[in-house]
Amino acid sequence: MATDSFGDTNRHFWNKNAKSAFTQEWALALSEQLRDCLLSSIDWIDIRKSSSNETPVKIIDYACGNGLVSRTLVDFADVIRGVDVSDAMVDQYNDLRRQSGISPERMHAVCGNFLDSGHNDAIAGPDFYEADAIIMSMALHHCGDPQAMLSKMVDRLRSNGVLVMLDWADSASGHAAGASSHAHGHDIMGNSDASHTISKSSFSAGDMKQLFSGAGCNPDTVGFRPYKETSHIPESVAKVKGGVDMTFFIAKARKP
């Protein structure tokens, strides 16, 4: 039976830190940037539109955390399903969904791990297959095997479904303003309290094309866009004097 020990490490860390993860000022600012990036990129992502004579439009929000992606894109899907390795994060997701007045039929999260066949009962049903889009925000760098993760995601897309990644860009792919400090990404993450949950601190456009293609996406559909602004990571988190400025990207590709 396949297991994912890196997923177990992430589960323990985020269960412990779920309540504080999104309350710090820098994290709130980053969340606003991610929300803006998603909304301003919605036409570029090009999720299938809802039609009365077709199956409902479905988005899977993987590594969903407290549901930022889901709540941002709720108007662009009929059904959204969140998945996270952390029970505590899933609880936050569903609590915030209830507070927003959104029905569980439309939006709901469960605990699961696409890479771990031993913890897949909750994500074995049809709700977690044939998705029009699967979106993973700021979590690919927490995956022990990014290539295997993308392959598992593509397996759960419908034909022509779109896989979307948001994560930290390397210095060659990000804006010049963030490049010099981002070049130290491995050291930054290595000194972070969350360093043991991180396998790769950033990705280039070439990295993402290779990962998408290796997962079975059409390489001609790969797109990569650095966000227009840098994100400031404070000294208390980066463990670097004065903090650092980093750039995230949004990338996409389609299943044939």
Q: How far apart are CA 207 and CA 170, in angstroms?
A: 10
Question: Is 236 within a domain?
Answer: no
**What are 244's strand-pairing partners?**
233
- Predicted pLDDT at 238: 82
For residue 195, tell me if it sits in a domain: no
Mean pLDDT, the chain, whole residue set: 85
Q: DSSP assignment of 190-253, as one string?
A: HHSTTGGG-S-S-B-HHHHHHHHHHTT--GGG-EEEE-SS-EEEPHHHH-STT-EEE-EEEEEE
Q: Which of 254, 200, 255, 247 is nearest to 226 (CA)?
A: 247
Question: What is the residue range of 125's domain?
Answer: 5-171+202-227+248-254
**Position 28 in a domain:** yes
Residues in the chain: 256
Whether 249 shows a pLDDT value over 70: the answer reads yes
pLDDT above 80: residue 211: yes
Angle made by CA atoms 61, 66, 69, in degrees to the nearest 5:
40
pLDDT band at 8 (very low <50, low <70, confident <90, very high): low
Within-domain flag for 73: yes
Classify residue 217: in a domain, yes or no. Answer: yes
Q: Degrees (nearest 5) of the Cα angle 92, 62, 181?
A: 90
Q: Does residue 184 form part of some domain?
A: no
CATH number at residue 100: 3.40.50.150
Task: For residue range 158-203, list pLDDT tens digits in order.
Answer: 999 999 999 999 977 665 333 333 333 333 333 344 444 445 779 9
Rounded to whole angstroms, the Cα distance separating 233 from 227 reads 15
- 239 occurs within a structural domain: no
Q: Of 61, 199, 186, 83, which Cα lies nearest the Cα of 140?
A: 199
Whether residue 61 lies inside any domain: the answer is yes
Q: Tally the domains of the chain.
A: 1
The pTM of this model reads 0.85
